[in-house]
């Protein structure tokens, strides 16, 4: 990853965001094998972090499974950590945290 200062680096709009993909399983819901029921899924699937050269993210990990929506936050967090991505709490979240010091 390239070294950047506290001012960051220039990026166009499409490159500014870090993407996390969530795919939900849809198999085994329809009565006929191989068919799907539109707009229906299981509460399980996989999480994937695609490459993003602007952020220095290389997609080196396979998609990681989650087994219920209760697992989803944990799997997303593990994928972000594994890719070296740091998150900052949004001002709306700060009301849940004690002040530093």
Examine residue 51 and state whether it is found in any structural domain, yes or no: yes
| pLDDT computed for residue 98 by the predictor | 81
Examine residue 69 and state whether it is found in any structural domain, yes or no: yes
This prediction's pTM: 0.80
Examine residue 71 and state whether it is found in any structural domain, yes or no: yes
Examine residue 15 and state whether it is found in any structural domain, yes or no: no
Examine residue 9 and state whether it is found in any structural domain, yes or no: no
Report pLDDT digits (tens) over 59-94.
888 999 999 999 999 999 999 999 999 998 888 888
φ/ψ region of 56 (left if φ > 0, alpha if ψ in -120 to 50, else beta) reads left
Examine residue 10 and state whether it is found in any structural domain, yes or no: no
- Mapping DSSP to helix (H, G, I), strand (E, B) and coil, where does residue 52 land? strand
Does the pLDDT of residue 29 top 80, yes or no? Answer: yes
| CA 4/CA 66 separation, integer angstroms | 34
Number of domains within the chain: 1
At 52, list the tokens: 């993003």
Examine residue 1 and state whether it is found in any structural domain, yes or no: no
**Residue 69 sits in which domain range?**
27-87
């Amino acid at each position: 990853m390239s070294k950047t200062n506290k001012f960051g680096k220039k990026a166009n709009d499409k490159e500014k965001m870090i993407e996390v993909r969530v795919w939900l399983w849809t198999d085994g819901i329809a009565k006929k094998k191989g068919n799907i029921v539109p707009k229906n899924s299981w509460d399980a699937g996989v999480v994937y972090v695609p490459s993003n050269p602007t952020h220095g993210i290389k997609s080196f990990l396979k998609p990681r499974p989650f087994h219920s929506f209760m697992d989803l936050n944990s799997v997303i967090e593990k994928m972000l950590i594994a890719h070296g991505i740091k998150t900052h709490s949004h001002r709306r979240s700060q009301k849940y945290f004690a002040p530093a010091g």
